[in-house]
Amino acid sequence: MDVAFISLRAVHTGALVALLGGLVFAIWVVRSSARVRLDGDSDTHARLIRWSARWLALAFISGAGWLGFEAILMSGLPPAQALSGETLSVVLLQTQFGRVWIGRCILCLILAALLLVSPRADSERRRIVVLMCTAVAAALIATLALAGHANSEHGPQRLVHLAADATHLLAAGAWVGALPALVGMIARQRRSPERVGLDEVARATQRFSLLGVISVGVLIASGGVNAWFTVGTFETLFKTHYGHLLLVKLALFGGMLVLAAVNRMRLTPLLSDAGMSPPVRTAAQRSLQRNAAVEALLALLVLGIVGALGTTMPAAHSPEMTPSMHMP
């Protein structure tokens, strides 16, 4: 049951990350390209709406599963009884998790309505609708913080922890969630790697690189604040199960940073240099696609760790700690 619950949380978080990242990619990364404007005649808008709807559906289904697991854990009843209408109504209406879930369900319905309306909007209003979708998707992923460890804090500390957690999720969604979209764009352009295609990929990778730098900075800062609340000391980082999981997450994140640095400092300049020969630029494009795909794979592993961290007692509150190891 623990593995299933962890997997479900990871799937839910991953779906929301991909949802937000795809929208951010469309608005920020590809908006400079004349051939892939959201308000143009290309199929970019239809592809964006289609994939957003799929990620939203996965997020909703996995969120419903998460609610079911919480009902079982909170009630202590067998699954058949815990998932009855009476027990679920108690969880939904009389617990903080349930009320948060209702609010997030409403956000899902709003986003679904926007996605349905978007294809019918005229070219001038498509971008506005996509911006609204992005705002709702951002709210959906940010409110995951309300189901995390920040709720164990009290007073101002709770607000700080919630803000850091929400910011961390938003930054992850913007950067990590956009990686599949970047891989897909490069793959499509490689099918016809003429000069125009290379120039479009070059512009997109430059903007994605800037997005990555900003997001990584926010991730490091907000992650540090989260670690202060959940870990407390270096000693607990190495002596608790939560700390061990966090170390694995940091190692995977470090691997993603190495690949991102190679992309930014070596491959993107080669691809962006119009004076380079087409074979050199094409090779850089191929390497960028490979590195972005590996980054996305590492991100999947990180999401698995995030799912496990969400069900593990924070190191700062662990019974494995001695009194002197606790934060004041």
Place of tokens 């891989």: 183
Name the domain boundary from 147, 167, 184: 147
Contacts of 187 (CB under 8 A, 6+ apart): 289
- The residues, any chain, with a CB within 8 Å of residue 138's CB and separated by 6 or more, are 20, 170, 173
Residue span of the structural domain in which 306 resides: 154-328
Please count the structural domains in the chain.
2
Are 86 and 220 found together in one domain? Answer: no
Same domain, 53 and 185: no
Same-domain check for residues 303 and 191? yes
pLDDT in tens, 126-152: 888 899 999 999 999 999 999 888 777
Residues 176, 107 share a domain = no
Q: Report the length, in residues, of the chain.
A: 328
Instruction: Specify whether 65 is located in the same domain as 136.
Output: yes
Does 87 share its domain with 212?
no
Q: Does one domain contain both 100 and 242?
A: no
Tens digits of per-residue pLDDT, 200-251? 888 888 899 999 999 999 999 999 999 888 887 888 888 889 999 999 999 9
Per-residue pLDDT of the chain (328 residues; tens, 9 = 90+): 588 889 999 999 999 999 999 999 988 887 654 444 555 445 677 888 999 999 999 999 999 999 988 888 888 888 888 888 888 888 888 888 899 999 999 999 999 999 999 887 777 788 888 999 999 999 999 999 998 887 777 788 889 999 999 999 999 999 999 999 999 888 887 766 455 567 788 888 889 999 999 999 999 999 999 988 888 788 888 888 999 999 999 999 999 999 999 999 999 998 888 778 878 888 888 999 999 999 999 999 999 999 999 888 887 666 554 433 332 2
Same domain membership, residue 199 and residue 306: yes
